[in-house]
């Protein structure tokens, strides 16, 4: 298998992903997903004209789209539509995931990212309801999308059209977390240690990873609405070993990616009737437990070619923020609708 490692810069687990992806042939890790570990939101930069009512908003094509979308506090009151592609689009008629449900709790509420296409909210409620059947107490839900989707002010390149959701690999406790706890509690990494060291043991930590984690992800992936689930390659490996049954089709959807050892990332297919919503190509056939995974678990994607000098930071490719002009035209309507 040809794997184009040059398409990506290995990015340490703590840095947000900078690779933009809108489609995938499955063979190039860099084309698979653009998402990363959520980082705290800085004070929002409010662009000029944003104090004005939404309809009078002055939109400049050359401005970073994240400034506009990051400043929108509520959803666009339009018919629900995922517009564009996962890492280049926006969301009309977004629904909110309530902070609390019987078997879920939304985290990091200050970010106001618990918005999604109604199909995503329905999916999450169904998954939460089924979680106890898998032996999982309930979901702690991380970032979905901003109220009107679009590029985020920090942390992710995808999550733009309301069809992506991060779910913690930490079980919901038996009590309601306070708003403060939801800001401060950290999820638990499933890794044994750092991955970017030559010869690192790239397996999950058996003291943290359990079959219940595996059952939850299997259940999440087996749903027809799901296009892909992104996990750390270490977790993909554990799932490949966990599944001893004959039906390995769900594993096809579970894709290795940077980060994603504190949470898994569910991506739904475009809901029926979503004109202007662009699906990714389906993952390549097979369970994905072969050569592609072996590559991901090797030193190749993780260890810098030239050893870093002590104290030297890894190189991260900085991309210019996406301008409003890069998004589908309908995203302007999404911004100004009120
Ligand atoms: Zn994510």
Q: What is the tens place of the pLDDT at every residue in 21-78?
A: 333 333 333 334 433 333 344 445 555 555 545 667 889 999 999 999 999 999 999 9
Residue 186 has pLDDT above 90, yes or no: yes
Cα(58) to ligand 1 centroid in Å equals 30
Cα(145) to ligand 1 centroid in Å equals 10
Alpha-carbon distance 333 to 77, whole Å? 10
Alpha-carbon distance 88 to 152, whole Å? 11
User: Tokens at residue 157, please?
Assistant: 């390149």
Pairing of strands 254-256, 226-231: parallel
Q: CB–CB of 71/48 below 8 Å?
A: no
Residue 110 has pLDDT above 50, yes or no: yes
Pairing of strands 263-268, 226-231: antiparallel
What pLDDT score does 164 carry?
98
Cα(142) to ligand 1 centroid in Å equals 8
What pLDDT score does 103 carry?
98
Cα(156) to ligand 1 centroid in Å equals 7
Coil vs helix vs strand at 49 = coil
At residue 318, what are phi and psi to the nearest 5 degrees?
A: -90, 130
Please state, rounded to an integer, the average pLDDT across all residues of the chain.
86
Domain assignment present for 10: no
Residue 169 has pLDDT above 50, yes or no: yes
What pLDDT score does 2 carry?
36
Domain assignment present for 5: no
Element of type H or E holding 106 = strand 104-106
Domain assignment present for 9: no
Cα(17) to ligand 1 centroid in Å equals 10
Domain assignment present for 173: yes
Cα(184) to ligand 1 centroid in Å equals 19
Model confidence at 305, pLDDT cuts 50, 70, 90, reads confident
Residue 4 has pLDDT above 50, yes or no: no
Which of the pair, 241 or 39, is modelled with greater confidence?
241
Domain assignment present for 11: no
Q: Which of 101, 78, 92 is nearest to 146 (CA)?
A: 92
Cα(166) to ligand 1 centroid in Å equals 5
Cα(165) to ligand 1 centroid in Å equals 6
Average pLDDT score over residue span 93-114: 98
User: Tokens at residue 296, please?
Assistant: 């991901």
Alpha-carbon distance 315 to 182, whole Å? 32
Range with lowest mean pLDDT among 20-34, 103-117, 182-196, 242-256:
20-34
Residue 18 has pLDDT above 70, yes or no: no
Cα(226) to ligand 1 centroid in Å equals 14
Pairing of strands 81-85, 164-168: unpaired
Domain that holds residue 115: 33-333
Element of type H or E holding 226 = strand 226-231
Return the CATH number at 148.
3.30.1380.10
Domain assignment present for 28: no
Alpha-carbon distance 338 to 158, whole Å? 25
Cα(263) to ligand 1 centroid in Å equals 8
What pLDDT score does 242 carry?
98
What pLDDT score does 57 carry?
80
Average pLDDT score over residue span 139-158: 95
What pLDDT score does 195 carry?
96
Domain assignment present for 15: no
What pLDDT score does 48 carry?
55
Cα(157) to ligand 1 centroid in Å equals 9
Which of the pair, 315 or 207, is modelled with greater confidence?
207
* pLDDT > 90 in the chain, percent: 75
Q: CB–CB of 135/215 below 8 Å?
A: yes
| Cα-Cα end-to-end distance for the chain | 50
Model confidence at 236, pLDDT cuts 50, 70, 90, reads very high
List Cβ neighbours of 224 (8 Å cut-off, separation of 6 or more). Answer: none
What pLDDT score does 54 carry?
65
Q: CB–CB of 86/35 below 8 Å?
A: no
Alpha-carbon distance 151 to 89, whole Å? 8
Q: How many domains does the chain have?
A: 1
Cα(221) to ligand 1 centroid in Å equals 15
What pLDDT score does 279 carry?
97
Alpha-carbon distance 276 to 120, whole Å? 17
Domain assignment present for 13: no
Q: Residue 179 carries which DSSP code?
A: H
Neighbours of ion ligand 1 (CB under 5 A): 35, 166, 265
* pLDDT > 70 in the chain, percent: 82
Cα(24) to ligand 1 centroid in Å equals 16
Cα(6) to ligand 1 centroid in Å equals 23
Cα(179) to ligand 1 centroid in Å equals 21
CB atoms within 10 A of CB 303: 16
What pLDDT score does 47 carry?
56
């Amino acid at each position: 298998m040809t794997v184009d490692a040059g398409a990506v810069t290995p990015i340490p687990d703590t840095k947000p992903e900078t690779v933009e992806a809108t489609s995938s042939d499955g063979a190039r890790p860099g084309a698979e997903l653009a998402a990363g570990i959520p980082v705290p939101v800085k004070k929002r930069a409010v662009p000029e004209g944003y104090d004005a009512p939404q309809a009078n908003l002055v939109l400049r094509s050359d401005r970073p789209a994240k400034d506009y979308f990051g400043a929108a506090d509520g959803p666009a009151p339009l018919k629900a539509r995922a517009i564009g592609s996962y890492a280049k689009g926006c969301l009309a008629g977004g629904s909110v995931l309530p902070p609390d449900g019987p078997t879920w709790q939304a985290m990091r509420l200050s970010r106001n990212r618990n918005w999604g296409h109604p199909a995503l909210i329905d999916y999450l409620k169904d998954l939460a309801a089924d979680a106890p059947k898998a032996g999982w107490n309930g979901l702690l839900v991380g970032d979905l999308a901003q109220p009107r989707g679009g590029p985020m002010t920090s942390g992710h390149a995808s999550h733009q059209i309301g069809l992506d959701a991060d779910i913690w690999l930490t079980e919901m406790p038996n009590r309601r977390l306070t708003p403060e706890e939801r800001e401060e509690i950290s999820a638990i990494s499933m890794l044994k240690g750092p991955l970017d060291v030559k010869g690192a043991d790239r397996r999950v930590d058996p003291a943290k990873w359990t079959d219940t984690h595996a059952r939850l992800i299997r259940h999440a992936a087996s749903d027809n609405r799901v296009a892909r689930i992104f996990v750390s390659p270490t977790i993909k490996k554990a799932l490949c070993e966990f599944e001893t049954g004959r039906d390995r089709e769900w594993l096809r959807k579970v894709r290795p990616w940077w980060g994603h050892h504190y949470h898994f990332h569910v991506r739904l297919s475009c809901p029926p009737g979503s004109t202007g919503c662009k699906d990714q190509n389906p993952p390549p056939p097979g369970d994905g437990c072969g050569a592609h995974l072996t590559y991901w678990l090797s030193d190749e994607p993780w260890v810098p070619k030239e050893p870093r000098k002590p104290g030297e930071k890894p190189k991260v490719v900085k991309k210019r923020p996406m301008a409003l002009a890069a998004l589908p035209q309908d995203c302007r309507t999404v911004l100004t609708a009120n």
